[in-house]
């Protein structure tokens, strides 16, 4: 019965397969001539289009992608601007590119064509008569390409080094979903029809050409082989050491030969054709014997002489890359594989069939990774032609898996990630990080901060960070995990089955799933839905370990969001003894035989992307059975998961009252971050001869939906404050404050959509005791703050709504003054970047503050301030002030740039009723100065007063500024105490809250 159903099922699936799957075929013949003086290509193309679909076609979509570089309205230009890349926005006309002279003929007859209504880099060719299923036609056109600057994207030239990619008119894919026409993008790759190419390239005779296909021109093969022999000799006799970059050096281009040469290349079973030309290229020629068929493939490496120190090893990397990828996925089906040295803006390298271009590599290790990765795309892109634009992970992710596996196989003890830190790693305890760890840390960073996106997503919808962190890193990780689960042998068998079935075809995600399930016999639904399609996080823990007379039963529990298989590793004296898998189901247990086993770990090899490894350990000794004992390190380090890590460093500090402070900073902040974090910095205050310092503990987590991250925390600090002390006395005891601040932060919004805005809601409480020798104050209160930030292209907008509440009790010895206040603040802030290359902006800001409730003593401390909060007005102790209760001198000039936003040192404009402030800041071109002007009004005990000022200064956002007033309204001018010198009016803005490393990392992400 079971068998019959299975057989029927197989039959049915083969049947549907043969009925629905089809693939169009396009065979090209192109003649092209490079003009290296005006950076153009003149060409004639003819392609045969075979309609294998069941649909009669009356038009075809043709990509004419050089037009993506034509103006700032193309999809490419828009994407670059959104990514803060101004290479097109401010390009000189000669740096742009386009395609023209198109004149399409179908089977020799003139045919009508037009631009796609939205994209000038897509043409719509209307056929004179429909192309019926099974029919073929010949389409021809001349074309001319202006080659853009290589700084923009993938097609381009850097001087006389040419990268000729996406350069010819090319039909879009027509598949079961219809036409897949798409504009060219930098972030977002390709989807193309398979077929054959016959391309003749004419260039000045002294160019070296690296290209898709097999060279069919004997003179050129001889030229290349002779060059390769010369290069080999130069490496042998060391004459390369003179090749240096720079003035008069080897990076200068030799004159182009006046005589031209035509080189012909042919290739079948590819879906693109790219070529590269450079007169400076050196050549390494090699050979690799394929592991399965033993067929031989020729390897070519082409590089500029001044890169010889790294590139002389390129032959080995090409050889090993082709060998291992063939071994694991299926033999390389072509005759040549080429890597060329090039400078492109699109990442570290770029793949094309048979030929890859490699960007500047800093070291030979980096060069190896990039060459192997790009060569690997001959499988995941070249031979398995999935739709990369929509399912980028199918290429980049599977390729990353193979790339990591290559490094781990060839260098089992590799510390690739640490090596890349160039000597810094061992100083901060990061000396053991491998190539695999790089992906682990990258993914963890985005997931821990709640900014990650699913693996299955359209390329253009990823944030640039996630395009790397998710498409490459996370997909590589999850397939490493799947490989670990299926076992190397079954995984390789399944990948070979996938390869066999889909070679030179267009597999979809479900085809990969079917192939892997069919081969492995396992249900992989959990993998292809929860892991591939969502941002749900994996977290398993060891819930119990029970000993019996035979050994141990280890139970695991799912405390994350994905139900998936987990591997439990059993150790004795630190050596792995046995591994067992607990299949899906939120709870499960496995039994290990052996009374002397002493340690059990979930996924000890870190193959599974478990976001919280602290609960993966159980050890049969010590006080803390589930975790290793505390490990103390200097400064900072990575999250090892199996250890309770603590980092220490000396801490120094200073302010007016404490003078100088010395102490120790202790924290557990790591990369990736822990859910629970603490920081304490106890210090000794020289000024007060007393304890000072600060601390913070917080717990963050990422809920499944709608909120990116929630953090609950408690901050505390105690320093000198100067109230109630004899001013400027070194001998009298100084006042001390103690502040306790519980807080809850919510980062709002769905994590899985690319957005240009961020929303944060924060609730912070405060209990502050100011203990002076003459009096003491107690303030209880807090604030609720909602912040919305939008940033796209040259515009930045933010709005902030905040409610402050204070309840204060001031005991000044003679009188006991109490009161409370509730103030509301609304701030709008708009910044326009009028000159992005120099980051020059125009800033416009408005703020309105309104008292909603007040009772008891009216107190300027608790009022609202046009000039922003002074240290005294920072009654919730949110900010770091160098002299928080000073009214004069350099310390008195420090204020926070908030509330009314005036850039004055005067306290004039403080109100318990209402304030309104508006501010303009203009960043002057060429010099690091700004001009500012402020205009505002405030309720001065029942009378509305108007205030303004203007001046110039230096400014770095709202965090740092020095302002020199030129002009002040009379009321402001008269508000300074008699005899105030000009320098006392120089305003200093210093807000260190926005400058803490954690906030900077989060802001950058
Ligand atoms: Zn790639």
How far is Cα 324 from Cα 285, in angstroms, rounded to an integer? 19
How far is Cα 702 from Cα 711, in angstroms, rounded to an integer? 9
Cα of first residue to Cα of last residue in the chain, in angstroms, is: 56
Report whether 371 contacts 349 (CB < 8 A).
yes
Q: How far is the CA of 510 from the centre of ligand 1 (A)?
A: 21
Q: How far is the CA of 897 from the centre of ligand 1 (A)?
A: 45
Say whether 540-627 and 22-193 share the same fold.
yes
Report whether 431 contacts 638 (CB < 8 A).
no
Maximum Cα–Cα distance across the chain: 105
Q: How far is the CA of 745 from the centre of ligand 1 (A)?
A: 37
Q: How far is the CA of 364 from the centre of ligand 1 (A)?
A: 18
- Classified as helix, coil or strand, 678 is strand
Q: How far is the CA of 462 from the centre of ligand 1 (A)?
A: 16
What does each C-alpha distance from 183 to 79, 80, 123, 756 come to in angstroms? 11, 13, 10, 22
Report whether 529 contacts 517 (CB < 8 A).
no
Q: How far is the CA of 681 from the centre of ligand 1 (A)?
A: 44
CATH 2.40.128 fits 22-193, yes or no: no
Q: Which residues of 175-197 are buried (b: 16+ CB within 10 A; e: fewer)?
A: beeebbbbbbbbbbbbbbbbbbb
pLDDT at 3: 36
Tell me which DSSP letter residue 993 carries. G
Report whether 106 contacts 139 (CB < 8 A).
yes
Q: How far is the CA of 116 from the centre of ligand 1 (A)?
A: 29
| Residue that has been written with the tokens 């002397």 in this structure | 596
Q: How far is the CA of 394 from the centre of ligand 1 (A)?
A: 10
Q: How far is the CA of 123 from the centre of ligand 1 (A)?
A: 28
| Residue that has been written with the tokens 């799947």 in this structure | 482
Full 3-state SS string of 751-779 = CCCCCCEEEEEEEEEEEEEEECCCCEEEE
Nearest to residue 932, comparing CAs of 959, 902, 908?
Answer: 902
Q: How far is the CA of 189 from the centre of ligand 1 (A)?
A: 10
Chain centroid to CA 523: 32
Q: How far is the CA of 434 from the centre of ligand 1 (A)?
A: 19
| Residue that has been written with the tokens 């070529």 in this structure | 275
Nearest to residue 399, comparing CAs of 418, 410, 386, 412?
Answer: 386
Q: How far is the CA of 358 from the centre of ligand 1 (A)?
A: 11
How far is Cα 483 from Cα 32, in angstroms, rounded to an integer? 45
Q: How far is the CA of 86 from the centre of ligand 1 (A)?
A: 24
Q: Which residues of 198-230 are buried (b: 16+ CB within 10 A; e: fewer)?
A: bbbbbbbeebbbbbbbbbebeebeebbeebbee
Tokens at 43, concatenated: 């060409």
Q: How far is the CA of 396 from the centre of ligand 1 (A)?
A: 5
pLDDT at 5: 35
Q: How far is the CA of 157 from the centre of ligand 1 (A)?
A: 21
Q: How far is the CA of 393 from the centre of ligand 1 (A)?
A: 10
Q: How far is the CA of 381 from the centre of ligand 1 (A)?
A: 9
Q: How far is the CA of 374 from the centre of ligand 1 (A)?
A: 6
Report whether 668 contacts 652 (CB < 8 A).
no
Full 3-state SS string of 949-986 = EEEEEEEECCCEEEEEEEEECHHHHCCCCCCCCHHHHC
Helix axes 393-410, 364-376, angle to 10 degrees: 130
If one counts every other C-beta atom within 10 angstroms of the C-beta of residue 1000, the result is 11
Q: How far is the CA of 348 from the centre of ligand 1 (A)?
A: 9
Q: How far is the CA of 377 from the centre of ligand 1 (A)?
A: 6
| Domain 540-627 CATH (choose: 3.50.50.60, 2.60.40.10, 3.40.50.300, 1.10.10.10) | 2.60.40.10
Q: How far is the CA of 167 from the centre of ligand 1 (A)?
A: 20
Q: How far is the CA of 356 from the centre of ligand 1 (A)?
A: 10
Q: How far is the CA of 144 from the centre of ligand 1 (A)?
A: 30
| Residue that has been written with the tokens 């890859």 in this structure | 356
Q: How far is the CA of 150 from the centre of ligand 1 (A)?
A: 19
Q: How far is the CA of 352 from the centre of ligand 1 (A)?
A: 10
| Residue that has been written with the tokens 């083969």 in this structure | 14
Q: How far is the CA of 349 from the centre of ligand 1 (A)?
A: 8
Report whether 678 contacts 695 (CB < 8 A).
yes
Q: How far is the CA of 465 from the centre of ligand 1 (A)?
A: 15
Chain centroid to CA 436: 17
Q: How far is the CA of 488 from the centre of ligand 1 (A)?
A: 23
Q: How far is the CA of 442 from the centre of ligand 1 (A)?
A: 16
Q: How far is the CA of 652 from the centre of ligand 1 (A)?
A: 46
Q: How far is the CA of 397 from the centre of ligand 1 (A)?
A: 8
| Residue that has been written with the tokens 């016999």 in this structure | 521
Q: Which helix (H) or strand (E) holds 810?
A: strand 795-811
Measured in degrees and rounded to the nearest 5, phi and psi for residue 239 equal -75, -5
How far is Cα 1005 from Cα 1003, in angstroms, rounded to an integer? 5
pLDDT at 321: 97
Measured in degrees and rounded to the nearest 5, phi and psi for residue 924 equal -75, 135
Q: How far is the CA of 395 from the centre of ligand 1 (A)?
A: 7
Full 3-state SS string of 821-853 = EEEEEEEEEEEEEEEHHHCEEEEEEEEEEEEEE
- Domain limits, the chain: 22-193, 218-256+278-390, 416-533, 540-627, 775-1005
**Helices and strands in the chain, H and E counts:** 18, 53
Q: How far is the CA of 208 from the centre of ligand 1 (A)?
A: 25
Nearest to residue 197, comparing CAs of 210, 211, 180, 208?
Answer: 211
Q: How far is the CA of 755 from the centre of ligand 1 (A)?
A: 25
Chain centroid to CA 365: 22
Q: How far is the CA of 373 from the centre of ligand 1 (A)?
A: 6
Q: Taking the chain (1005 residues) in consecutive chunks of 10 residues, what is each chunk's mean pLDDT?
A: 36 45 97 97 98 96 98 94 84 95 96 97 97 97 97 92 97 96 94 97 97 97 96 88 54 89 98 96 96 97 91 96 94 96 68 92 87 94 95 94 92 74 58 78 84 90 88 94 94 92 95 94 95 92 91 93 94 92 88 91 91 83 48 56 69 83 84 81 87 91 80 92 57 75 88 71 94 82 94 88 92 76 96 86 96 84 91 88 76 86 92 95 93 96 94 87 94 90 87 59 53
Report whether 902 contacts 868 (CB < 8 A).
yes
Q: How far is the CA of 545 from the centre of ligand 1 (A)?
A: 43
| Domain 218-256+278-390 CATH (choose: 3.20.10.10, 3.40.190.10, 3.40.50.170, 3.30.2010.30) | 3.30.2010.30
Q: How far is the CA of 516 from the centre of ligand 1 (A)?
A: 22
Q: How far is the CA of 507 from the centre of ligand 1 (A)?
A: 17
Q: How far is the CA of 933 from the centre of ligand 1 (A)?
A: 50
Q: How far is the CA of 185 from the centre of ligand 1 (A)?
A: 15
Q: How far is the CA of 187 from the centre of ligand 1 (A)?
A: 12
Q: How far is the CA of 375 from the centre of ligand 1 (A)?
A: 9
Chain centroid to CA 703: 22
Q: How far is the CA of 218 from the centre of ligand 1 (A)?
A: 33
Chain centroid to CA 330: 32
Q: How far is the CA of 302 from the centre of ligand 1 (A)?
A: 20
Q: How far is the CA of 392 from the centre of ligand 1 (A)?
A: 9
Q: How far is the CA of 350 from the centre of ligand 1 (A)?
A: 7
How far is Cα 650 from Cα 645, in angstroms, rounded to an integer? 17
How far is Cα 828 from Cα 994, in angstroms, rounded to an integer? 18
Q: How far is the CA of 938 from the centre of ligand 1 (A)?
A: 59
Q: How far is the CA of 372 from the centre of ligand 1 (A)?
A: 10
Q: Around 546, how many Cα atoms within 13 Å sit in the side-chain half-sphere?
A: 9
Report whether 893 contacts 984 (CB < 8 A).
yes
Measured in degrees and rounded to the nearest 5, phi and psi for residue 472 equal -90, -65
Q: How far is the CA of 469 from the centre of ligand 1 (A)?
A: 13
How far is Cα 913 from Cα 801, in angstroms, rounded to an integer? 17
Q: How far is the CA of 761 from the centre of ligand 1 (A)?
A: 38
- Long-range contacts, stretch 122-126, CB < 8 angstroms, 24+ apart: 122/61, 122/62, 122/63, 122/64, 122/172, 122/181, 122/182, 122/183, 123/61, 123/62, 123/63, 123/64, 123/169, 124/59, 124/60, 124/61, 124/62, 125/59, 125/60, 125/61, 125/62, 126/58, 126/59
797 strand-pairing partners: 790, 830
Q: How far is the CA of 466 from the centre of ligand 1 (A)?
A: 14
Give the list of residues 6+ apart from residue 724 with CB closer than 8 angstroms, or none.
735, 770, 772, 773, 774, 775, 776
Could you write out the DSSP letters of every residue in 702-761?
Answer: --SSSEEEEEEEEEEEEEE--TTS-TT-SSSPPPEEEEEEEEEEEEES-TTS--SEEEEE
Q: How far is the CA of 353 from the centre of ligand 1 (A)?
A: 13
Q: How far is the CA of 454 from the centre of ligand 1 (A)?
A: 18
Q: How far is the CA of 399 from the centre of ligand 1 (A)?
A: 7
């Amino acid at each position: 019965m079971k068998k019959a159903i299975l057989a029927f099922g197989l039959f049915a699936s083969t049947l549907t397969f043969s009925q629905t799957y089809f693939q169009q075929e396009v065979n090209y013949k192109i003649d092209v001539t490079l003009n290296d003086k005006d950076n153009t290509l003149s060409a004639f193309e003819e392609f045969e289009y075979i309609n294998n679909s069941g649909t009669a076609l009356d038009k075809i979509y043709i990509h004419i992608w050089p037009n993506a570089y034509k103006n700032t309205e193309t999809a490419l230009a828009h994407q670059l601007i959104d990514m803060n890349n101004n290479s097109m926005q401010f390009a000189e006309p000669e740096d742009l590119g386009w395609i023209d002279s198109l004149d399409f003929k179908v089977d020799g007859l003139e045919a009508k064509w037009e631009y796609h209504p939205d994209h000038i880099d897509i043409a719509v060719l209307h056929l004179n008569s429909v192309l019926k299923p099974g029919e073929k036609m010949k389409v021809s056109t001349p074309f001319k390409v202006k080659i853009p600057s290589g700084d923009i994207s993938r097609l381009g030239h850097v001087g006389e080094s040419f990268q000729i990619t996406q350069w010819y008119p090319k039909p879009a894919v027509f598949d079961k979903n219809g036409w897949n026409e798409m504009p060219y993008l930098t972030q977002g790759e390709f989807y193309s029809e398979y077929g054959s190419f016959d391309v003749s390239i004419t260039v000045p005779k002294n160019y070296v050409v690296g290209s898709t296909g097999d060279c069919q021109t004997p003179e050129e093969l001889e030229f290349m082989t002779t060059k390769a022999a010369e290069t080999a000799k130069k490496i042998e006799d060391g004459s390369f050491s003179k090749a240096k970059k720079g003035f008069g050096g080897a990076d200068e281009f030799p004159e182009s030969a006046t005589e031209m040469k035509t080189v012909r290349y042919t290739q079948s079973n590819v879906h693109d054709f790219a070529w590269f030309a450079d007169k400076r290229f050196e050549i390494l020629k090699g050979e690799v014997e394929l592991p399965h068929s033993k067929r031989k493939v020729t390897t070519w490496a082409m590089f500029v002489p001044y890169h010889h120190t790294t590139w002389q090893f390129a032959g080995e990397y090409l050889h090993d890359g082709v060998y291992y990828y063939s071994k694991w996925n299926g033999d390389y089906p072509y005759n040549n594989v080429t890597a060329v040295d090039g400078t492109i803006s699109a990442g570290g390298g770029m793949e094309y069939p048979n030929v890859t271009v490699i960007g500047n590599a800093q070291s030979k290790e980096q060069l190896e990774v990039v060459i192997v990765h790009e060569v690997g795309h001959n499988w995941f892109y070249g031979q398995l032609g999935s739709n990369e634009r929509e399912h980028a992970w199918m290429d980049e992710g599977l390729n990353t898996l193979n790339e990591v596996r290559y490094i781990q196989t060839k260098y089992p003890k590799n510390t690739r990630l640490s090596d890349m830190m160039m000597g810094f790693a061992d100083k901060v305890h990061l000396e053991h990080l491998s190539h695999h760890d790089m992906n682990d840390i990258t993914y963890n960073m985005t997931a821990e901060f709640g900014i990650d996106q699913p693996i299955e997503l359209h390329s253009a919808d990823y944030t640039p960070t996630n395009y790397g962190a998710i498409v490459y890193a996370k997909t590589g990780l999850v397939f490493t995990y799947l490989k670990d689960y299926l076992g190397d042998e079954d995984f390789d068998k399944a990948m070979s089955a996938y390869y066999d079935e889909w070679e030179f075809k267009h597999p979809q995600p479900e085809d990969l799933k079917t192939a892997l399930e069919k081969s492995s016999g396992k249900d992989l639904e959990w993998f292809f839905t929860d892991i591939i399609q969502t941002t749900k996080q994996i977290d398993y823990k060891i819930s119990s370990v029970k000993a019996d007379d035979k050994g141990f039963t280890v139970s695991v529990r799912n405390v994350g969001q994905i139900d998936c298989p987990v591997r439990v590793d059993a150790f004795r004296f630190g050596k792995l003894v046995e591994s067992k898998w607990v299949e899906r189901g939120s709870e499960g247990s496995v039994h290990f035989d052996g009374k002397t086993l002493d340690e059990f770990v979930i996924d000890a090899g870190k193959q599974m992307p478990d976001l919280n490894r602290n609960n993966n350990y159980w050890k049969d000794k010590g006080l803390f059975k589930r975790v290793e004992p505390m490990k103390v390190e200097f400064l900072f380090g990575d999250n090892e998961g199996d250890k309770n890590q603590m980092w220490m460093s000396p801490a120094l500090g200073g302010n007016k009252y404490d003078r100088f402070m010395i102490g120790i900073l202790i924290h557990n902040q790591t990369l990736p971050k822990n859910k629970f974090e603490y920081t304490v910095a106890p210090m000794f205050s020289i000024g007060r001869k007393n304890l000072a310092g600060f601390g913070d503990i917080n717990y963050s987590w990422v809920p499944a939906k709608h909120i990116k991250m929630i953090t609950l925390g408690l901050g505390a600090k105690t320093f000198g404050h100067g109230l109630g002390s004899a001013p400027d006395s070194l001998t009298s005891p100084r006042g001390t404050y103690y502040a306790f601040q519980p807080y809850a932060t919510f980062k709002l919004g769905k994590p899985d959509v690319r957005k240009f805005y961020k929303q944060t809601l924060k609730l912070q409480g405060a209990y502050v005791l100011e203990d002076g020798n003459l009096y003491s104050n107690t303030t209880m209160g807090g604030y609720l703050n909602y912040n919305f930030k939008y940033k796209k292209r040259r515009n930045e907008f933010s709005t902030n709504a905040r409610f402050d509440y204070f309840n204060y009790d001031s005991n000044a010895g003679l009188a006991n003054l109490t009161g409370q206040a509730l103030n509301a603040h609304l701030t709008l802030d708009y910044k326009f970047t009028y000159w992005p290359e120099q980051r020059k902006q125009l800033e416009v800001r408005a703020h309105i503050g309104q008292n909603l409730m007040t009772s008891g003593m009216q107190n300027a401390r608790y009022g609202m301030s046009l000039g922003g909060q002074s240290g005294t007005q920072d009654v919730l102790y949110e900010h770091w002030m160098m002299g928080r209760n000073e009214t004069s001198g350099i310390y008195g000039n420090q204020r926070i740039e908030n509330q009314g936003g005036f850039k004055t040192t005067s306290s004039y404009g403080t109100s318990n009723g209402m304030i309104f402030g508006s501010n303009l800041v203009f960043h002057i071109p060429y010099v690091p100065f700004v001009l500012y002007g402020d205009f505002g009004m405030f309720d001065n005990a029942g009378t509305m007063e108007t205030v303004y000022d203007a001046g110039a200064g230096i400014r770095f956002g709202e965090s740092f500024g020095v302002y020199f007033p030129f002009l002040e309204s009379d009321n402001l001018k008269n508000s300074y105490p008699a005899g105030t010198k000009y320098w006392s009016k120089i305003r200093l803005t210093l807000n260190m809250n926005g400058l803490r490393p954690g906030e900077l990392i989060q802001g950058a992400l």
